[in-house]
Amino acid sequence: MFDGLRIVATLTGHGIDFVVIGGFAARVHGSPVVTDDLDIVIAAEPDNKTALAGALVELGARRRIGGDEYAFTGFRGDDEVLYRFVTDAGNLDVVTYPLGGHYGLLRESAQIVDVDGVRFPVAGLDMLIAMKRLADRPKDRLMLAWLLETREAAEGER
């Protein structure tokens, strides 16, 4: 059973520098679409990846590669950008970027939200819209329409 809030609470408890993106972020912004995974972007600095490894162990994470699962044995300094995990609280996809560049822009524009006492950074609507436009998959186009309506409604309230 997917428990995104448990994953987020574990990540924040380990002091990880991350931003929630994807369907879970859209849900936090009020999307009616239910998601079954959590997508995050982290700063790929060594200390942050070490903290993430601790959180993944606590969550009982296994690597998802194709349709197979493998024991998580830590990060080995590789340069992968996308890691897919199955955890005891559900699926978690992790995108890594160096602290500057893309991650820095994402982090600067993130909103800190509080859900049931758990505070964490979520990509803002404009950033989510840009990501969905870039991905351009059928499911992203559906979410894009909702995100655009939400932004329009928020601008109308100002």
122-137: per-residue pLDDT in tens?
999 899 998 889 888 8
What's the whole-number average pLDDT of the chain? Answer: 89
Tokens representing 30 are 């009020």
Domains held by the chain: number: 1
Domain with 8 in it: what CATH number? 3.30.460.40
Structural domain that includes position 143: 4-151
Report pLDDT for 8.
98
**Is the model's pLDDT at 76 over the cut of 80?**
no
Mean pLDDT, rounded, for 53-72: 92
pLDDT band, very low/low/confident/very high, at 77 (cuts 50, 70, 90): low
> How far is 68 from 52, CA to CA, in rounded Å?
21
> How far is 105 from 133, CA to CA, in rounded Å?
17
Residue 116 in domain:
yes
**Per-residue pLDDT reduced to its tens digit, 2-22:** 999 999 999 999 999 999 999
Mean pLDDT, rounded, for 138-153: 86
**Is the model's pLDDT at 79 over the cut of 80?**
no
**Is the model's pLDDT at 31 over the cut of 70?**
yes
What Å distances lie between residue 2 and 24, 87, 123, CA to CA? 11, 9, 20
Tokens representing 92 are 């978690």
> If you ran DSSP here, which 8-state letter would residue 2 be given?
-
Q: What are the strands, taking DSSP E only, across 22-155?
A: 37-43, 62-65, 68-71, 82-87, 90-97, 111-115, 118-122
Report pLDDT for 50.
92
Residues in the chain: 158
> How far is 98 from 35, CA to CA, in rounded Å?
27
Residue 92 in domain:
yes
Mapping DSSP to helix (H, G, I), strand (E, B) and coil, where does residue 66 land?
coil
**Per-residue pLDDT reduced to its tens digit, 95-114:** 987 555 678 888 998 999 99
Residue 158 in domain:
no
Report pLDDT for 61.
96
Q: Which of 107, 122, 92, 94 is nearest to 7 (CA)?
A: 92
Task: Name residue 91's beta-bridge partners.
Answer: 37, 86
Question: pTM of the prediction?
Answer: 0.90
Please list the alpha-helical segments (H only) found in the chain: 4-13, 22-28, 46-58, 101-109, 125-135, 138-157
Residue 30 in domain:
yes
Report pLDDT for 6.
97
Report pLDDT for 78.
66
β-pair type (68-71, 37-43): unpaired
Q: Which of 79, 42, 74 is nearest to 61 (CA)?
A: 74
